[in-house]
Amino acid sequence: MIEVVLKRDRLVVVGSLLALAALAWAYLIYLALAMGDMAAAMGGMGDMAAKLRPWTVADGLLMLLMWAIMMVAMMLPSAAPMILIFARVNSKQRDKGHVYVPTAIFAAGYIVVWAVFSVLATASQWGLQNAALLSPGMVSTSVYLGGGLFIAAGIYQWTPLKQACLKHCRSPLAFIMHHWRPGTGGAFRMGLSHGAFCLGCCWSVMALLFVGGVMNLIWVAVITIFVAVEKMFPHGPWVGRVTGMAMIAAGIYLMA
């Protein structure tokens, strides 16, 4: 009976994660197509009026929504193992008579961290566009900005902070054992903690969206796959380090 319950819970969690990620990607695809049609109607992304038009409050909120949904689409796949292990351990706690907490509470804590990052990313985009360092297509217009972001991300791949955060992200069971907190508030704090480790692991790579294009879906997919490989594959940390060297080389090439 216990195995049946665990299997059912696991299927519900997996189905929910797949549905949420699929909806997020569907929205990004829709938005990218809509932006392409708008650019064609204006005569291209280089339209001067689009460059000079200041953001309204509605523009800012829409950009924030875009970033938040993009982070869900990019980060949920690599967070799935941690969420599934939380669900399994939580179900066993329920079988022992402890209070059951919906897995969504843990996931919500995780998403809140990336929502905060989305606020910072939106503010950065606004600042870069006002400084004419970002095109209306949300791509860096400066080789020094693009090269600097590549070099910074490449160097960060080798730092102790990056490796420490990656270690937590790659060890879901160890994280659960060392950070378990009972109750609803505990589950939410656990989600916040795991989200903080993931943010510490991936923020510099996410900044590269400003180089390849925030709405360049191929670039978004490449970064998503890289994050998943680094967190989930056996030699992920070394893939990250080697890629870091490639990032540094790419940054130097851009600025040269």
pLDDT tens digits along 114-155: 999 999 999 999 999 988 898 877 889 999 999 999 999 999
How far apart, in Å, are the Cα atoms of 203 and each of 97, 166, 225, 232, 235? 39, 12, 15, 17, 21
Q: Is the pTM of this model over 0.75?
A: yes
Q: Over 50: is that where the pLDDT of 4 sits?
A: no
Q: What is the pLDDT of residues 148-197, one digit of tens each?
A: 999 999 999 999 999 999 999 999 888 988 888 888 899 999 999 999 99
Task: Let me know how long the chain is.
Answer: 256
Q: Cα 2 from chain centroid?
A: 34
Decide: 237 and 230 in contact? Cβ < 8 Å: yes
- Say which residue the tokens 């692991």 belong to: 201
Would you say residue 71 has pLDDT above 90?
A: yes
Q: Which of 195, 27, 167, 24 is nearest to 108 (CA)?
A: 195
Look at the block and give the residue holding tokens 């060392």: 178
In this predicted model, what pLDDT tens digit does every residue of 19-36 receive, in sequence order?
A: 888 999 999 998 888 877
Nearest Cα neighbor of 21 from 77, 78, 60, 82 is: 77
Amino acid at 196: A
Cα 137 to chain centroid, rounded: 20
Give the position of tokens 């992200």: 169
Identity of the residue numbered 132: A
Cα–Cα distance list, 57 to 14, 117, 126 (Å): 36, 19, 12
Q: Please compute the mean of the pLDDT values over residues 82-108 and round it to a whole number.
A: 80
Q: Report the pLDDT value the prediction gives residue 45, as an integer from 0 to 100.
A: 47
What percent of the chain clears pLDDT 90, i.e. is strictly above it? 55
CB-based contacts of 74, cutoff 8 Å, min separation 6: 206, 220, 223, 224, 227
- Name the band, by pLDDT with cuts 50, 70 and 90, for residue 244: very high
